[in-house]
């Protein structure tokens, strides 16, 4: 009985331990590392990603930034180059949305359908207005007025180039009727002030140093979309509008000197669809727990900043994975990840184990139910069975002693009594070798006392035999 109980308990423990090991071998879990494309060393994307590092480190995950990937190269690393190791990246609003629809080429539409669909968004993390700079006194009221103009539209791999190209095409501005130059305006605005170009587009956050310097340049002026912003936001769902009020940059000199309606996009933090759910959950949690601050490096409030607006869960260009949506809604990690992640990291356990427990913890608990239904009754029976096993060792000697006592009572000769004494000596020797737990010592001493009692009776019989002879 004892062996059966021990075997059952050991078998249950082996099954419980072996199951996750087998599952880990069949379904390998992620290493504790995620690479994020941040588009430019020292840029705002990289600064934002750096704030996520400490949060991920609590759960045993190292976040590595790739500042050498930007725009198209970010998308290529995510959806084309499967061996790049990049699992997430920042993408400008409109960069992907502009690759579909009647304004996009057939190649762009196909690429969007096949490859970009392999990406998901875990949230929009910051606002990036579309700044349209012109020379003072030469500001157009519409993009349609740019026919024949020299225009900086951004460099080829960037999101600026893609978005601006779509907007100009929608207004009939093409390389055939305007000079489209794939460059970005420098922070001194010299290309504009020196009359080398007529218009320059920039897609940058309002706190960017370049934007701040250009806004304060007295020879430059921002184009306003006041009359058409509603049409743009309907035609391009990834666009919205903000208003740069008179004096919002400076009161003296008054900058801007009039109210300007600015079209804006929002940058998305995207992940590959095959990124492990545990990493998606952690990156989403870090992004929503560490939003971009509302003040720039000098302590000035950031234009258009609204506390709690970002990160934003809704995304007009990408789907949101279910594990990210759950974190966005609750602002918390799953219970097992939250409870076990940091302790397992401190214990130097690999993130793969943390990820497995977080993902399959519910299944493990369900599997424990039938095991516990076996183990709990066994645990209840085990003390009873153990006590019975110890008593059984004593009872077998009591059985022999009782039989010997009966044979002594029936003995009719000295030889029979001598044989009984030899048997009693054997019983006495066997009882002396018994080892029992301390709790059973009283029963062992009772057995020894009964052995001595039988010995006294046997000695009395032997004495009576000798007297009679």
What are the tens digits of pLDDT across the range 336-386? 899 889 999 999 988 888 888 887 765 555 555 666 666 666 666 767 777
- Find, among 116, 107, 102, the residue nearest to 74 by Cα: 116
Do residues 120 and 273 touch, judged by C-beta distance below 8 A?
A: yes
Does 361 map to a domain? no
Query: Domain range holding 94?
Result: 33-349
442 and 305 in one domain?
A: no
Residue 8 clears pLDDT 70, i.e. is over it: no
Alpha helices in 171-272 (DSSP H): 190-193, 209-215, 229-235
Q: At what angle do helices 414-432 and 351-410 cross, to 10 degrees?
A: 160
First-to-last alpha carbon distance for the chain, in angstroms, is 53
Tell which wins on pLDDT, 141 or 379: 141
Does 455 map to a domain? yes
313 and 424 in one domain?
A: no
- Find, among 212, 284, 282, 221, the residue nearest to 250 by Cα: 212
> What distance in Å separates the CA atoms of residue 296 and residue 273, rounded to the nearest whole number?
33
Tell which wins on pLDDT, 294 or 144: 144
204 and 109 in one domain?
A: yes
Residue 1 clears pLDDT 50, i.e. is over it: no
- Residue reference for tokens 């903000």: 242
Of the three residues 317, 349, 381, the one that is the final residue of a domain is: 349
> What distance in Å separates the CA atoms of residue 285 and residue 328, rounded to the nearest whole number?
8
Does 28 map to a domain? no
- Find, among 462, 341, 321, the residue nearest to 61 by Cα: 341
Strand partners, 127: 266
Q: How would DSSP label each residue in 385-401?
A: HHHHHHHHHHHHHHHHH
Q: How far, in whole angstroms, is CA 465 from its chain's centroid? A: 91
pLDDT digits (tens, 9 = 90+) for 165-224: 889 999 999 999 999 999 999 999 999 999 999 999 999 999 999 999 999 999 999 999
Of the three residues 322, 349, 376, the one that is the final residue of a domain is: 349
339 and 413 in one domain?
A: no
DSSP code of residue 255: B
Does 15 map to a domain? no
Q: 248: number of CA atoms within 13 Å, CB side?
A: 18
- Find, among 363, 364, 385, 361, the residue nearest to 8 by Cα: 385
> What distance in Å separates the CA atoms of residue 207 and residue 138, rounded to the nearest whole number?
26
- Find, among 144, 71, 124, 153, the residue nearest to 237 by Cα: 124
Q: What is the mean pLDDT of residues 29-55?
A: 86
DSSP code of residue 253: T
400 and 327 in one domain?
A: no
Do residues 350 and 396 touch, judged by C-beta distance below 8 A?
A: no
Give the helix/strand (H/E) hosting 469: none
> Cβ neighbours of residue 459 under 8 Å, at least 6 residues apart?
none
Angle at 355 between CA 350 and CA 357, to 5 degrees: 100
What confidence category does residue 129 fall into, taking pLDDT thresholds of 50, 70 and 90?
A: very high
- Calculate what percentage of the chain has a pLDDT beyond 90: 43
Q: How many residues does the chain have?
A: 469
Does 17 map to a domain? no
Alpha-carbon distance values, 153 to 158, 162, 204, 223 (Å): 10, 9, 13, 15
158 and 275 in one domain?
A: yes
Does 371 map to a domain? no
DSSP code of residue 118: G
- Find, among 208, 228, 214, 200, the residue nearest to 133 by Cα: 200
Residue 87 clears pLDDT 90, i.e. is over it: yes
Alpha-carbon distance values, 143 to 171, 232, 301 (Å): 6, 11, 31
> What distance in Å separates the CA atoms of residue 101 and residue 109, rounded to the nearest whole number?
7
Helix (DSSP H) and strand (DSSP E) numbers for the chain? 14, 10
Which of 51-55, 93-97, 129-133, 338-342 has the weakest average pLDDT? 93-97
Residue 311 clears pLDDT 80, i.e. is over it: yes
Tokens of 50: 């750096």
pLDDT digits (tens, 9 = 90+) for 238-280: 999 999 999 999 999 999 999 999 999 999 999 998 899 999 9
Residue 63 phi, psi (nearest 5): -100, 125
244 and 160 in one domain?
A: yes
427 and 286 in one domain?
A: no
58 and 122 in one domain?
A: yes
Residue 288 confidence (pLDDT): 94
What is the chain's Cα-based Rg? 41
Does 107 map to a domain? yes
Q: How many domains does the chain have?
A: 2
Q: What is the mean pLDDT of the chain?
A: 83
> Cβ neighbours of residue 29 under 8 Å, at least 6 residues apart?
276, 278, 351, 352, 353, 355, 356
400 and 336 in one domain?
A: no
Give the burial class of 89: count Cβ atoms within 10 A of its Cβ; 0-12 exposed, 13-18 middle, 19 or more buried: buried
Residue 367 confidence (pLDDT): 55
337 and 417 in one domain?
A: no
423 and 339 in one domain?
A: no
Q: How would DSSP label each residue in 355-422?
A: HHHHHHHHHHHHHHHHHHHHHHHHHHHHHHHHHHHHHHHHHHHHHHHHHHHHHHHH--SHHHHHHHHH
User: Given the DSSP bridges, would you call strands 86-91 and 33-37 parallel, antiparallel or unpaired?
Assistant: parallel
Does 295 map to a domain? yes
> What distance in Å separates the CA atoms of residue 113 and residue 106, rounded to the nearest whole number?
11
Query: CA dihedral defined by 64, 66, 70, 75, rounded to 10 degrees?
Result: -60
Give the helix/strand (H/E) hosting 262: strand 260-272
> What distance in Å separates the CA atoms of residue 143 and residue 153, rounded to the nearest whole number?
13
CATH assignment at residue 338: 3.40.190.10
């Amino acid at each position: 009985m004892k062996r059966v109980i021990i075997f059952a308990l050991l078998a249950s423990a082996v099954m419980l331990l072996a199951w996750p090991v087998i599952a880990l071998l069949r379904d390998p879990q992620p290493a504790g590392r995620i690479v994020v494309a941040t588009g430019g060393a020292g840029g705002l994307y990289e600064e934002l990603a750096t704030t996520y590092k400490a949060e991920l480190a609590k759960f045993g995950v190292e976040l590595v930034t790739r500042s050498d990937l930007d725009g198209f190269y970010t998308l290529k690393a995510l959806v084309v180059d499967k061996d790049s190791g990049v699992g997430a990246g920042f993408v400008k609003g409109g960069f992907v949305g502009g690759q579909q629809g009647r304004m996009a080429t057939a190649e762009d539409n196909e690429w969007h359908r096949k490859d970009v669909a392999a990406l998901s968004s875990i949230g929009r993390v910051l606002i990036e207005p579309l700044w349209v700079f012109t020379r003072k006194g030469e500001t157009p009221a519409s993009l349609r007025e740019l026919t024949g103009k020299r225009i900086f539209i951004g460099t080829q791999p960037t999101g600026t180039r893609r978005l601006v190209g779509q907007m100009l095409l929608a207004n009939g501005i093409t390389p055939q009727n305007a000079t489209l130059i794939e460059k970005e305006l420098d922070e001194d605005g010299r290309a504009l002030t020196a009359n080398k170009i007529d218009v320059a587009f920039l897609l940058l956050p309002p706190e960017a140093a370049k934007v701040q310097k250009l806004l304060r340049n007295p020879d430059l002026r921002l184009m306003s979309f006041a009359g058409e912003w509603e049409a743009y936001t309907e035609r391009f769902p990834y666009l919205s509008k903000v208003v740069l009020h008179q004096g919002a940059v400076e009161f003296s000199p008054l900058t801007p000197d009039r109210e300007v309606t600015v079209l804006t996009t929002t940058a998305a933090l995207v992940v590959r669809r095959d990124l492990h759910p545990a990493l998606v959950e952690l990156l989403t949690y870090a992004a929503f727990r560490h939003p971009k601050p509302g003040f720039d490096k000098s302590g000035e409030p950031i234009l258009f900043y609204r506390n709690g607006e970002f990160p934003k869960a809704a995304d007009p260009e990408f789907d949101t994975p279910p594990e990210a949506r759950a974190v966005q809604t609750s602002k918390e990690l799953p219970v097992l990840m939250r409870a076990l992640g940091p302790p397992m990291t401190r214990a130097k356990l690999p993130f793969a184990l943390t990820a497995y427990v977080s993902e399959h913890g519910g299944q493990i608990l369900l599997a424990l139910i039938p095991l516990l239904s076996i183990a709990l009754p066994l645990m209840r029976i085990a003390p009873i069975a153990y006590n019975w096993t110890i008593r059984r060792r004593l009872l077998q000697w009591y059985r022999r002693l009782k039989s010997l006592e009966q044979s002594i009572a029936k003995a009719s000769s000295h030889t029979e009594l001598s044989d009984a004494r030899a048997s009693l000596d054997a019983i006495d020797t066997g009882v002396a070798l018994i080892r029992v737990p301390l709790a059973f010592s009283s029963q062992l001493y009772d057995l020894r006392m009964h052995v001595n009692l039988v010995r006294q009776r046997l000695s009395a019989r032997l004495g009576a035999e000798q007297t009679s002879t």
